[in-house]
Chains A and B, each alone.
Chain A
Amino acid sequence: MAEMVKLFVNGQEVEVESGKNLIDALKVVGIEIPHFCYHPALGADGNCRMCLVGIEDGRPPLVPACKTPAQEGMKVQLDAEHIKKIQRDVLEFELINHPVDCPVCDQAGECALQDYYMSYSLDDSRMRVEQVTKGKKIDFGSGVVHDQERCVLCGRCVRFTRQITHTGELGIVNRTDAARVSIFPGKPLNNRYALNIVDICPVGAMTSSDFRFKQRVWFLQKDPGICHGCSKGCSIYIDHHREKYKDDVIYRFRARTNLKVNGYFICDFGRLSYAAENENRQTTATADGSAIGFDEAIELVRERLDRARKPLMLVSPDLSLEQMWAVKRIATLYGADLSGYSDSYVIDGDGDDYLINDDKAANRKGLELLDIDSSKEQFISTLQYTDLLVNFNNDLFYSGVDEELKAQLDKTQSIAVCSHQLPVFESATIALPTASYSEYGGTIVNEDYVLQRFDKALFKNEDPRDVLEITRLLGGAIIDAPHAWPGIRQSVADLADIDPETIPAEGLNLQNSEDTNVGA
């Protein structure tokens, strides 16, 4: 644990971590200091002056909280009259040329300027001259739309492209009321993390063309989740909403701060992967191309499995540990071979040294931990003599259709337990709809052996059964995710003393000793 210091805020004693700046240190104990330009990932810039606080008997008596480390005995003034006046004045400056766009602005509801105005100002405008008008709806590329009028020139976006992506596409040009955030002529934003700019922008100056006007943010239900876009397993918020007479759908993914895995950001691919959760879903059970009832389909599958001489079960590397375990158990029950073959999920050279990985499978380490063979040789050789393939949502053609494999699959009788309608499942005689990762809870292990738990976020009108439930209906003994754990603990040494209930929100590193498990 870091060293703690005692200081006074508005005369009240609080104990905070030393070394942190006042904004971060006091946030932990629930004291909010308003700020625009400071962001923990981008450091203190000190340009917005919103976080000015008074230090009693201090030299100087007024300091920006973002640049001031918490010190023993410090007497911080937050609600003194002169501090309140500073906050009001800074807001008045920010609002001189700020348009009253709130009704049409996507940021409304999660806008720092709006919130601070309500908490610290509420003054009427004193300006009697025409507002300076600037450019609106400027396409910055990579799905970022800029509105110059709403900008408060905090420079977070500029610092993001310089410090995080090191691409430096943005800059602030000109001064005073002619200052604008801009791209260089003909050089739009071109990096794979650009949409984080929309998240970090404290106001509505940066909006996402993908989310633009789709929904007002106060309608969205924000549930934590884990991105299944690659093996990094970034922490996300799943923002979803059920419109009247409609189904629960996801509107966007946002980065959730997790210093152990992804820090403050996620990649654009992962952010936009929410769309796949809404589209192209397998919603009904089908047999030989025609829709049948789900229970009927389960009966059929059971029958086929009982009849099969040597079935082969293929699990997806995206499944949760519990689901993999459940499939493993029913594979033993039916005397089936088990494979986790998923080479197609690896796209060589796609990853980078930041968050994106070559391997697009969310739980490959889980396959390894549960000792499920994912070699190509084993899968191909088993596929030769098997008379029934049960594919648990494994997209063998993730990186394009493999003709050789397709010919082989077409020859084999197969059953697909699938969440999406994909080319790989076309050859299946029976297809069972199943839940995708936002519709069930479980645990996955990312590429760095960080075990993370996530809960069911979406509740569809017709809730799809998840893989674990389907294995239960096929005769498996595991009734739900918690019931998979005694078995997992017994057979996997690395998970021997894991209780899924006590996995911290930022995950648990399975490989390293305690020191890495202490939150940063």
Chain B
Amino acid sequence: MSIKVRTVERKGRTFLEQLYLVEVIKGMTVTLGHFFRNLLDNSRLYVRHYPEVEPEITARWRGRHRLTRHEDGSVKCVACFMCQTNCPSNCIMIEAGERHDGRSEKMPTRFDIDLLECIYCGYCVEACPMDAIRMDTGIYSVTSYSRDSMVLGLEELLETPGAFDEEEYKKGGG
């Protein structure tokens, strides 16, 4: 098959156009038209009024992580390190210890996620055999004034509640 050649007709070669000034004025008319129209009535803007109006987050959105608990309040995580093993950005740091609540033998004593290194791919959620780590907090704005506070510990991860009810989360493919 040979390559098809199509000659495109070039525009903008007339005298008026080559003067530029006329075209500049034409362009500015459009710009200023929009400017004054929006200035007088901004209700028709196609822009989200963030942060005054927050976006709607669906259950499938991968927000900031959290660690879940069983119904009796015990930590679901068994420190199997699957999330850490699967993490492509290597941002999860776990230390395991003995567990005494009868659920299993093992639980995390330290569970740190470095949010600055996290790429929010959700592989940790997929890898988890216990459904212990989820990204359903609905938190999309992760900001801080210091690097240290961007490393979340076990307590913070356990504290954050999920933003969706169970059914909605499951429907989202969780």
In the assembled complex, the Cα of A213 lies from the Cα of B105 at a distance in Å of: 10
Report if B78 contacts A (CB, 8 A): yes
Q: Mark A450-464, 1 if CB is under 8 A from B, else 0.
A: 000000000000000
Report if B69 contacts A (CB, 8 A): no
Report if A59 contacts B (CB, 8 A): no
A-B contact pairs, 6 of them (CB 8 A): A101-B105, A103-B129, A104-B106, A212-B98, A216-B85, A244-B93
The binding surface of chain B is classed by DSSP as loop
Report if A309 contacts B (CB, 8 A): no
Task: List chain B residues, Cβ under 8 A from A219.
Answer: 81, 85
Q: Mark A204-246, 1 if CB is under 8 A from B, else 0.
A: 0000000011101011000000000000000000000001110
Task: List chain B residues, Cβ under 8 A from A216.
Answer: 80-81, 85
Interchain CB contact under 8 A, B79 and A104: yes
Q: How many residues of A contact B (CB 8 A)?
A: 15
Q: Mark B67-110, 1 if CB is under 8 A from A, else 0.
A: 00000000000111110010000100100111000001110000
Interchain CB contact under 8 A, B85 and A104: no
CB distance from A14 to the nearest CB of B (A): 37
Q: Which chain B residue shows the least CB distance to A102?
A: B80
Interchain CB contact under 8 A, A104 and B80: yes
User: Considering the complex, which residues of chain A in the window 235-273 have a beta carbon less than 8 Å from any beta carbon of chain B?
Assistant: 243-245
User: Considering the complex, which residues of chain A in the window 432-466 have a beta carbon less than 8 Å from any beta carbon of chain B?
Assistant: none
In the assembled complex, the Cα of A101 lies from the Cα of B79 at a distance in Å of: 12
User: Considering the complex, which residues of chain A in the window 70-102 have a beta carbon less than 8 Å from any beta carbon of chain B?
Assistant: 101-102
Task: List chain A residues, Cβ under 8 A from B90.
Answer: 244
CB distance from B133 to the nearest CB of A (A): 13
| Cβ-neighbour of B106 out of A213, A218, A245 (below 8 A) | A213
| Cβ-neighbour of B80 out of A103, A136, A214 (below 8 A) | A103
CB distance from B93 to the nearest CB of A (A): 6
CB distance from A88 to the nearest CB of B (A): 24
Task: List chain A residues, Cβ under 8 A from B130.
Answer: 103
Q: Mark A107-137, 1 if CB is under 8 A from B, else 0.
A: 0000000000000000000000000000011
Q: Which chain B residue shows the least CB distance to A212?
A: B98
CB distance from B118 to the nearest CB of A (A): 13
Task: List chain B residues, Cβ under 8 A from A213.
Answer: 79, 96-98, 106
Interchain CB contact under 8 A, B97 and A103: no
Interchain CB contact under 8 A, B106 and A243: no
Interchain CB contact under 8 A, B105 and A104: yes
Where the two chains meet, the residues of B that have a C-beta atom closer than 8 Å to any C-beta of A are 78-82, 85, 90, 93, 96-98, 104-106, 129-130
Task: List chain B residues, Cβ under 8 A from A103.
Answer: 78, 80, 82, 129-130
Interchain CB contact under 8 A, A104 and B93: no
| Cβ-neighbour of B78 out of A104, A137, A214, A244 (below 8 A) | A104
Q: Which chain A residue shows the least CB distance to B104?
A: A104
User: Which 5 pairs across A and B sit closest by C-beta, in order of nearness?
Assistant: A103-B80, A213-B96, A104-B106, A216-B81, A104-B78
Task: List chain A residues, Cβ under 8 A from B98.
Answer: 212-213
CB distance from B116 to the nearest CB of A (A): 12
Task: List chain B residues, Cβ under 8 A from A101.
Answer: 105
In the assembled complex, the Cα of A218 lies from the Cα of B86 at a distance in Å of: 12
In the assembled complex, the Cα of A137 lies from the Cα of B98 at a distance in Å of: 11
CB distance from A189 to the nearest CB of B (A): 20
Q: A101-B105, A216-B85 are in contact. List 9 more A-B contacts (CB 8 A).
A: A103-B80, A104-B78, A104-B80, A136-B105, A212-B98, A213-B97, A213-B106, A219-B81, A245-B93
Task: List chain B residues, Cβ under 8 A from A104.
Answer: 78-80, 104-106
In the assembled complex, the Cα of A285 lies from the Cα of B96 at a distance in Å of: 34
Q: Which chain A residue shows the least CB distance to B81?
A: A216
In the assembled complex, the Cα of A230 lies from the Cα of B58 at a distance in Å of: 63
In the assembled complex, the Cα of A219 lies from the Cα of B105 at a distance in Å of: 21
Interchain CB contact under 8 A, B85 and A218: yes
CB distance from B103 to the nearest CB of A (A): 10
In the assembled complex, the Cα of A218 lies from the Cα of B80 at a distance in Å of: 12
CB distance from A87 to the nearest CB of B (A): 26
Interface hub of A103, A137, A218, A245 (most chain B Cβ within 10 A): A103
Task: List chain A residues, Cβ under 8 A from B85.
Answer: 216, 218-219
CB distance from B63 to the nearest CB of A (A): 23
In the assembled complex, the Cα of A216 lies from the Cα of B108 at a distance in Å of: 13
CB distance from A213 to the nearest CB of B (A): 4
Task: List chain A residues, Cβ under 8 A from B96.
Answer: 213-214
Task: List chain A residues, Cβ under 8 A from B79.
Answer: 104, 213
In the assembled complex, the Cα of A213 lies from the Cα of B96 at a distance in Å of: 6
In the assembled complex, the Cα of A484 lies from the Cα of B133 at a distance in Å of: 55
Q: Which chain A residue shows the least CB distance to B128?
A: A103
In the assembled complex, the Cα of A48 lies from the Cα of B3 at a distance in Å of: 68
Interface hub of B79, B90, B96 (most chain A Cβ within 10 A): B96
Q: Mark A125-165, 1 if CB is under 8 A from B, else 0.
A: 00000000000110000000000000000000000000000
CB distance from A123 to the nearest CB of B (A): 19
In the assembled complex, the Cα of A152 lies from the Cα of B102 at a distance in Å of: 24
In the assembled complex, the Cα of A218 lies from the Cα of B82 at a distance in Å of: 11
Q: Which chain B residue shows the least CB distance to A136?
A: B105
CB distance from A23 to the nearest CB of B (A): 31
Task: List chain A residues, Cβ under 8 A from B106.
Answer: 104, 213
CB distance from A52 to the nearest CB of B (A): 33
Task: List chain A residues, Cβ under 8 A from B78.
Answer: 103-104
In the assembled complex, the Cα of A219 lies from the Cα of B82 at a distance in Å of: 11
CB distance from B23 to the nearest CB of A (A): 57
Task: List chain B residues, Cβ under 8 A from A136.
Answer: 105
In the assembled complex, the Cα of A103 lies from the Cα of B79 at a distance in Å of: 8
In the assembled complex, the Cα of A213 lies from the Cα of B129 at a distance in Å of: 18
Task: List chain A residues, Cβ under 8 A from B93.
Answer: 243-245
In the assembled complex, the Cα of A137 lies from the Cα of B130 at a distance in Å of: 21
In the assembled complex, the Cα of A103 lies from the Cα of B82 at a distance in Å of: 8
CB distance from B54 to the nearest CB of A (A): 33
In the assembled complex, the Cα of A216 lies from the Cα of B90 at a distance in Å of: 15
